[in-house]
Amino acid sequence: MNRDKPKYMQIIEAAVIAIAENGYHQTQISKIAKQAGVADGTIYLYFKNKEDILISLFKEKMRVFIENLEEIIQTGANASDKLSKMIDNHFSVLANNKHLATVTQLELRQSNKELRLKINAILKEYLNLLDNILVEGMMNGEFNPTMDVRVARQMVFGTIDETITSWVMNDFRYSLLDNAPKVKHLLLNGLKNN
């Protein structure tokens, strides 16, 4: 399998850097190849085409988010705690990798609808875990049991996403992590069972 070979991740890491620094459309295959220290043609031994690099990159990075979230779900005390830890994790992974933040929040979206659908499919697994947390909270009385799970998920994810995108658009000028408690407080307030 390609992803077990060293050059696969080498190219993906190069793509994250190159795309974050130059923007998706300004990042030619030759730039990624140069950054990765391989020839242009070598890229095509590991990826079908340029779009495939983006998809694979997102898949690999989402894997971290998902693995972390799975562990959070196993160790969290309750739904509120799990949601809180999920937000902490989401923020801290990106706060620690600004290149990746730039790519996921800005560059990845510069793609046509077809590519967006593929990205959404990958995101699905992550959002399903979020749904599980929400349902758990609805069933055990932490969250409003009558709320629409899809809308609740969209609020949670939309808020996280907008918060991070603003931080990226503002050139990381303030601490993302400082916003985590405020975000959690507002969201949990919105979800809670009155």
Partner DNA sequence: TATGAATGAGGGTTCATTCAT
Partner DNA sequence: GATGAATGAACCCTCATTCAT
> What does the binding site for DNA look like in residue numbers (CB under 7 A)?
2, 5, 7, 26-30, 38-46, 49-51
The CA distance from 175 to 158, in Å, is 19
Biggest CA-to-CA distance, the chain: 60
The answer to whether 98 and 17 have CB atoms below 8 angstroms apart is no
Out of 30, 96, 120, 175, point to the residue binding its own copies (CB under 8 A): 120
The CA distance from 89 to 70, in Å, is 11
CB-based burial, 45-59: b 16+ in 10 Å, e otherwise: ebbeeeeebbbbbbb
Token digits for 104? 């996921």
Number of residues that bind its own copies (CB under 8 A): 40
Token digits for 76? 């969290």
Q: Which stretch binds its own copies (CB under 8 A): 41-49, 78-86, 128-136, 150-158?
A: 150-158
Instruction: For its own copies, give the closer residue by CB, 74 or 112.
Output: 112
First to last CA, the chain: 51
Q: What is the nearest approach in angstroms of DNA to the Cβ of residue 11?
A: 10
Out of 96, 151, 172, 175, point to the residue binding its own copies (CB under 8 A): 151
Could you tell which of its own copies, DNA, none binds residue 151, using a CB distance below 5 to 8 A set by kind? its own copies
Binding footprint of its own copies on the chain (CB under 8 A):
23, 25-26, 106, 109-113, 116-117, 120, 144, 147-148, 150-152, 154-155, 157-163, 166, 169, 179, 182-183, 185-187, 189-192, 194
